[in-house]
Amino acid sequence: MRTLIRVVRGLLALVLLVAVVGGVPWFLADSLGIPFPRPLPTSLSQVGPWLDVWRIDRARFVLDLLGIAGWCYWAAFIRQLAVQVPGALADAVAVARQTAPAIRDRQAGPAASLVAVLLAALAVSVLTSRTPAAAKTGFITPAKPAASSTAPAVPAEPTATTSSATYTVVDGDTLWGIAAQHFGDAERWREIYDANRARIQADGQRLSDPDLILPGWTLELPALGATAEAPAASSISTVPRPTDAAVPSFAFPQPTVAAGESVVQSSPSTPSAAVANTHVHDVVARPKAHRDRSFVNLPGGGVVGIGLAGALAAAIALARKRRRIRTTARWPIPLDTPQPAVPESVAEIERAHLATLAPPALGYFQDGDLDPEDDDPYQSGLDDPGPERPDLRLPEQAVTTSEERSRSGLTGPSIPASYTEFTAPGSLAFGTDGDHEIGLALRDHAGLGLSGPGALSTARALLVGILANGGPLASLDHMRVLIPSVDLATLLANEPQHVPRLEITTDLDDAVDMLEAEYQDRRRTVADLGVRTAADVRRFYPEQTLEPLVLIATPTPAITPRLAAILDVGRAVDLHAILLGPWDSGTTAEIDHDQRSRSADEQLDGVQAFSLSASEAQALLAQLEPDLDTSQDTTTDRPDETSALQPAAIPKQTTVATDLPPLPRVHVNVLGPVTVTVDGHEVVLNNKETSILTFLALHPNGVARDEIIAALWTNPDGTNNGSAETFRSTVYHARTRIRAATGEGKTMYITNRGTRYLLDPAEITTDLARFTKHLDTANRTRDEAEGTTALEAAIDTYRGHLATGIHADWLIIDREAESRRFGDACARLSDLTADTRPEFALHVLERAVADADCNQELYAKIMKIQAHLGRHAEMWKTLRLLEVRLAALDDEPDRDLYELANRLTNQRSERSR
């Protein structure tokens, strides 16, 4: 049927093509003739009377105008045919030869789209109407249908072709060609790949790379009647649905209840919920990539939404950024990278968020059906680079890009347009149906009561979600929490310190008093601004801070009438409550032991509610606390009143490399975007191979295979799904591509010493190793000139943040450490060259500021050199630039920087007297 449709389309395209090419000119010539008045003028004096014919006969003018337009369009159509037909014929020949057609630019202009559609329909019809035949290089044998021991619950409809076949691979075969031969459609090669990647072949190997099939392998070919668009199975399954106990890895376990922790009992008056939605567990148990999941399983048993993971990850990233503001340069530069202790729940939260940002197989292997053998779609062009991809020699980057810096002053690198890594979704989630987060719109409820054995765990998840909502920076999505101290003690083991937007009251009476006072203030604000709701205020008057305020408390009979009244009228001004216990005046959700919600509200009924244990909630709330450590607030080493900086001519600067042995041909560059070069020419690897090489570059002394698998392969439930075989397959392909580029077919490049894998230092060098080597030389030498040269070489080597573009938790600590070392090297080099080469020192510091755009000490050093060069106006601009950048982080420069600027300005005034 599919082929018939294509043939019909092709015939229609052919008819239309012939009609336009031959029919249009015949119609125009026969009906309209020449679209100009006749006779044509033979002299210039006859042009005026000739045009008057059109003025007198308006009908003739309209017909002639249509005729001219018709002839112009027909000419454009013929031109497009002449342009596009050769390419279409070449593509048809390529497909007929079972090779991929070339990628061509889309033609523009009149009639281009129509010609392209007609030629495509005609080509598809001609190519797919051919009867598939056995290839001259291989043979297809029909497979016997397997006998079924049980009858299907739903009889299958009879089909023309229901049996599969096998194919024996011979030299020169490709999956593309086999699919074109067997199906008549080369694009269906992935069906063959999916059907055979788990089969062990006679030589003990199995299909893991779509580009590599070996002669002698036997491939199972899906039935001809099966199509890619057909559903994989009937909607009525004969396989029994798994029970809750059957899916422990994807189910939502109840967090461990701490000793002495009370459990909120359900009320007999709570409406009985419908039978739990069994489809939820079906969906949750279905494997999918980590980036596509709606929830995160924490090591302690808690479950949170992926949106909350993003908000917490933003807070963690902001804390790292803020810590860099007040760090000071270190000398000598430490070369070890200490691993800070991070709570497991926090580490898993950040890992889950980064997995949502990772492209296929870049940083994490998580796609498809979670089979790491499934190759990513970004294939290397190494095997067949083609004429359109010439070898690219990477440009060399030096710290000195000009002989003399411009004297216009330092304005610094451009201000970042936004800090996207510090932003987060602005929606509160209650739970998940397996595929999606289920949001909680508090405005729809006059208070939400949580009852049942899982109520406290869900309340903790909502508490953290509300406080993290909108991310750590200023946002219109921020929400505040009001909670009595006794209820906070019920939810958490220890009271958190300095959590933004968390207000603790002495008791529930005080909390309700605050709600009533807040209601009066908000109602007055809304009325004065002429709007109806607090949401309208945030929309039209964002300078007004009317953040939603949520009370979390245990209701008491004495306070219930007041609380119900304020919640009923307060919804319009965003006053809400989550009550620990049943709440008859609003909505109640009963949370079972397995965190399944039962509620009269359809939106919340049958949902797997998110949950956190007390220790998990405590650890996550700690990430929201601002970094108050000012022990390193020593950014401005005060200069002597008589500055050592003296005006000096700026000599020509050249960067001299330190004496090192000849480098190997293969370079793996991970400082900046990851690249692999052979003799200066880039080798294009796919994402899997890039991730493996990057990981190995971080461990020059080798790393155990199991550690690599645990870091790179990941499942949504926190387990890894790699294996020794799949790891070896990826390493094999990386070796193959490098060997093809070097022409050395027996060199290993990636070696295995015992149980540890590493990049062979005799065959591969990394820019990270060279960077570390230069810093070590600068640390050890006592000769200032040699130290300066080593620092310049180190700065030249650093092209940017470690593995730019890869989002993975296993990179974060090393990325921060190398960035800090780069800043230390720039600061030290500027100190060594500020007296004799101040312009060069400014350039070095500018590169450091581009890498760490908020470090106060670097700005202080820039300001000193600018003042020494007499550029006091530029010095103040540098300070203003820092103000703007820190304001984006809800911070501001320390007082010492302003004192430094004033002191340097006064010194200028004293010298001018």
Could you tell me where the beta strands, DSSP code E, fall in 277-338?
295-297, 303-305
pLDDT of residue 206: 72
Among candidates 455, 441, 472, 453, which has minimal Cα distance to 321?
472
Q: What is the pLDDT of residues 462-471, one digit of tens each?
A: 999 998 888 7
Per-position b or e across 51-75, b if 16+ CB within 10 A of its CB:
eeeeeeeeeebeebeebeebbeebe
pLDDT of residue 420: 62
- What are φ and ψ of residue 164, in 5° steps? -100, 180
Higher-confidence position of 529 and 656: 529
pLDDT of residue 275: 33
CA distances from 480 to 204, 423, 430, 462, 675 (A): 61, 17, 17, 12, 46
Sign of the dihedral defined by the CA atoms of residues 744, 750, 753, 755, in that order:
negative
**pLDDT greater than 90 at residue 766:** yes
Q: At what angle do helices 614-622 and 455-468 cross, to 10 degrees?
A: 10
- Range 84-109 average pLDDT: 64
Range from 199-213, 325-339, 641-655, 773-787 carrying the lowest mean pLDDT: 641-655
Q: In which band, very low, low, confident or very high, does the pLDDT at 42 lie, cut at 50, 70 and 90?
A: low
Higher-confidence position of 439 and 393: 439
Q: In which band, very low, low, confident or very high, does the pLDDT at 644 lie, cut at 50, 70 and 90?
A: very low
pLDDT of residue 156: 36
Query: What distance in Å separates the CA atoms of residue 34 and residue 50, rounded to the nearest whole number?
Result: 14
Query: What distance in Å separates the CA atoms of residue 26 and residue 352, rounded to the nearest whole number?
Result: 67
Q: What is the number of alpha carbons within 13 Å of residue 899 lying toward its C-beta?
A: 9
Q: Which residues contact 86 (CB under 8 A, 6 or more apart)?
A: none
Tokens for 909?
């005034």
pLDDT of residue 855: 93
Query: What distance in Å separates the CA atoms of residue 502 and residue 489, rounded to the nearest whole number?
Result: 14
Q: In which band, very low, low, confident or very high, does the pLDDT at 79 lie, cut at 50, 70 and 90?
A: confident
Yes or no: say if 459 and 613 are a contact pair by the CB < 8 Å rule.
Answer: no
pLDDT of residue 676: 94
Tokens for 554?
């245990």
**pLDDT greater than 70 at residue 318:** yes
- Range 144-157 average pLDDT: 35
- Kindly report whether the peptide bond that precedes residue 893 is cis, defined as omega within 30 degrees of 0: no
**pLDDT greater than 60 at residue 511:** yes
CA distances from 488 to 82, 115, 615 (A): 77, 70, 13
Query: What distance in Å separates the CA atoms of residue 609 and residue 595, rounded to the nearest whole number?
Result: 5
Could you tell me where the beta strands, DSSP code E, fall in 485-567?
502-505, 549-553
pLDDT of residue 164: 56
Tokens for 853?
């755009």
Query: What distance in Å separates the CA atoms of residue 624 and residue 463, rounded to the nearest whole number?
Result: 12
pLDDT of residue 107: 64
Could you tell me where the beta strands, DSSP code E, fall in 237-394?
295-297, 303-305
Neighbours of 173 (CB within 10 A): 21
Higher-confidence position of 832 and 308: 832
- Range 874-885 average pLDDT: 92
**pLDDT greater than 90 at residue 369:** no
- Range 584-613 average pLDDT: 93
Give the highest mean pLDDT range of 68-77, 117-126, 490-499, 547-556: 547-556
pLDDT of residue 863: 94
Give the highest mean pLDDT range of 160-174, 415-429, 656-670, 713-727: 656-670
Q: What is the pLDDT of residues 539-582, one digit of tens each?
A: 888 888 788 999 999 999 999 999 999 999 998 899 999 999 99
Residue-averaged pLDDT of the chain: 75
**pLDDT greater than 80 at residue 517:** yes
Predicted TM-score (pTM) of this structure: 0.62
Strand, helix or coil for residue 590? strand
**pLDDT greater than 90 at residue 139:** no
For every residue of 797-830, DSSP letters joined together read: H--SSBTBT---HHHHHHHHHHHHHHHHHHHHHH
Q: In which band, very low, low, confident or very high, does the pLDDT at 53 lie, cut at 50, 70 and 90?
A: low
Query: What distance in Å separates the CA atoms of residue 488 and residue 124, rounded to the nearest whole number?
Result: 68
For 38, counting Cβ atoms within 10 Å of its Cβ (0-12 exposed, 13-18 middle, 19+ buried), the class is exposed
Q: In which band, very low, low, confident or very high, does the pLDDT at 331 lie, cut at 50, 70 and 90?
A: very high
Strand, helix or coil for residue 601? coil
pLDDT of residue 225: 52
Higher-confidence position of 755 and 462: 462
Tokens for 641?
């009143």
* β-strands 502-505, 480-484 pairing: parallel
Q: What is the pLDDT of residues 259-304, one digit of tens each?
A: 444 444 444 333 333 333 333 333 333 345 566 778 888 888 899 9
* β-strands 448-451, 587-591 pairing: parallel
Q: In which band, very low, low, confident or very high, does the pLDDT at 611 lie, cut at 50, 70 and 90?
A: very high
Yes or no: say if 597 and 608 are a contact pair by the CB < 8 Å rule.
Answer: yes
Give the highest mean pLDDT range of 11-15, 16-20, 463-467, 576-580: 576-580
CA distances from 376 to 362, 463, 682, 688 (A): 9, 39, 20, 7
Higher-confidence position of 609 and 100: 609
% of the chain surpassing 70 pLDDT: 69
Yes or no: say if 360 and 376 are a contact pair by the CB < 8 Å rule.
Answer: yes
Range from 468-472, 518-522, 532-536 carrying the lowest mean pLDDT: 468-472
pLDDT of residue 666: 94
Query: What distance in Å separates the CA atoms of residue 552 and residue 576, rounded to the nearest whole number?
Result: 9
pLDDT of residue 130: 44
pLDDT of residue 231: 36
Among candidates 476, 504, 473, which has minimal Cα distance to 491?
504
Q: In which band, very low, low, confident or very high, does the pLDDT at 368 lie, cut at 50, 70 and 90?
A: very low
- What are φ and ψ of residue 393, in 5° steps? -90, 125
pLDDT of residue 768: 95
pLDDT of residue 880: 93
Yes or no: say if 574 and 548 are a contact pair by the CB < 8 Å rule.
Answer: yes
pLDDT of residue 903: 92
- Amino acid (one-letter) located at 746: K
Strand order in the sheet with 218-221: 139-142, 165-168, 218-221
**pLDDT greater than 80 at residue 109:** no
| Conformational region of residue 323, where left means phi above 0, alpha means psi within -120 to 50, and beta covers everything else | alpha
Query: What distance in Å separates the CA atoms of residue 83 and residue 715, rounded to the nearest whole number?
Result: 50
Higher-confidence position of 309 and 755: 309
pLDDT of residue 719: 52
**pLDDT greater than 70 at residue 3:** no
**pLDDT greater than 90 at residue 68:** no
**pLDDT greater than 80 at residue 44:** no
CA distances from 200 to 203, 227, 599 (A): 8, 25, 50
pLDDT of residue 845: 95
Query: What distance in Å separates the CA atoms of residue 741 and residue 666, rounded to the nearest whole number?
Result: 9
